[in-house]
Structure 1
Amino acid sequence: MFLPDPPPRLHAYGETYTEEIYNPAQFAPTHYTGESTILETGKVIRIAPFKRNVFTTPHRAQPGDFAEYRWIIQNADTEVWYEKPGRSGVRHMNTVGDKDLPLLQNPRPVSLETPRVWLSPVFTTPTDDDIYDCVAGHSLEDDYTGPCHSCTDEKSEALDATPLVYYLVLSTCQASEPFIHGAHFNGKQIYKLIKCGSREAVAAEAFFAAGVNGWNIVFSCVMRMGETFEERRGNLSRVDELWQLAETEEDAEAVRAFY
């Protein structure tokens, strides 16, 4: 018999209570349009199986945030660590692209005591999200304010048939060498790129990276496979809703992203 996941528990630490979570589904729960609004405030949660506290924020990213991490999304290989280039190098890569991004040979990533996790709508938006703005005339009642079920079903089926790429940017500090007790990192930020094929997979990666390794989750986005920076060199276009990635793009060189 299938049993649902238990609700998150509250665990006392001193005079405060920290929400305990046990799996990726609790870590990044789905949130449908029309449900109660997620308060865009940070909070500390505890990943109980790994006994680690993490600081999470749920707000949506803006174009300036994408620009901050475009250099690694556009140019990096996965599963290796990088140091962010200088300003001129970032500007060059964001403009023309550069596959020769130098990787760190000895990264020495630090396990942070309380990593930061940005749980943006990339983690929480389901492929069958409700659609309220019906433009096809499915909703005939003028006073109807609920979702359009016909549009929701159509867009959901189209999105499920569309291969997506979820991008996850991790960061931490680089440990000092040689090791100095009491000062185990030198303050230099290093970064790693992860790619996944589904929301569930990227949530599991973030759950493990933060809970086990103690690394920050600093940015995430979604693109349509075949229309990423690897295949195209056109302008970057942000889509407001995840389901819009399933629609045909008129510009054959445009790179669309949901973030």
Structure 2
Amino acid sequence: MRQIVLDTETTGLDPAQGHRIVELACVELENRSLTGRSLHLYVNPGRDSDPEALAVHGLTTEFLSSHPGFEEVAHQLVEFVQGADVIIHNAAFDTKFLNAELARCGLPKFDTMCVKITDSLLHARELHPGKRNSLDALCERYGISNAHRTLHGALLDSELLADVWLAMTRGQDGLIMDFEDNSGLDANGMRLEAFDASVLKVVTANAAELQEHEEYLAVLDKIVGKPCVWRAVEA
């Protein structure tokens, strides 16, 4: 199974207002393992970033002016995502920008180029309802270091999201559910290992024990004046 973890940085929040992609990155997973293949592109948007967006990614107009426009690199994106399940955190945001950029190039919508799009933010919200599920919060929850993330960057964020996605979808590792960020730890702070129920020995009741059980149910029937609840369970 081939998966691509994708992230973008933009000049602002809405392509309908003329905002553009300034950075795009993809990291490849094959059968839930990082392959080492990635795609990383800086894109000249032909305009300034909003101050709020610039504060997030730090990509100045001067720096981006030396890079190609999206139409010059669109084919690299199309080739990289072909036949893959694309994973994006808050996918609605990135796909609306990708669709706008692709439309300018006369290309079809992004979701037609890949097998499907999976929103890791929606998946995280299902797993951790009522909790913060930003990329930073998920890195903290799953013990993934993001200390080097001083600014948002598409390549760094896609690499972090790949690690988060693998951790988030590997299944439960311990006997304790994730009610808190330290779930999976016992009272001494030791992590509980995965429990294999198949190793448990199954012991069935013998004839004498079954007879004792039946006699006990008969007593319960007499006390309540009708078949006790265990009769319904057995039925």
Output the TM-score relative to the length of structure 1: 0.19
If asked which structure has higher relative contact order (CA below 8 Å, sep 6+), I would say 1
Larger radius of gyration: 2
Output the TM-score relative to the length of structure 2: 0.20
Higher helix share: 2
Higher strand share: 1
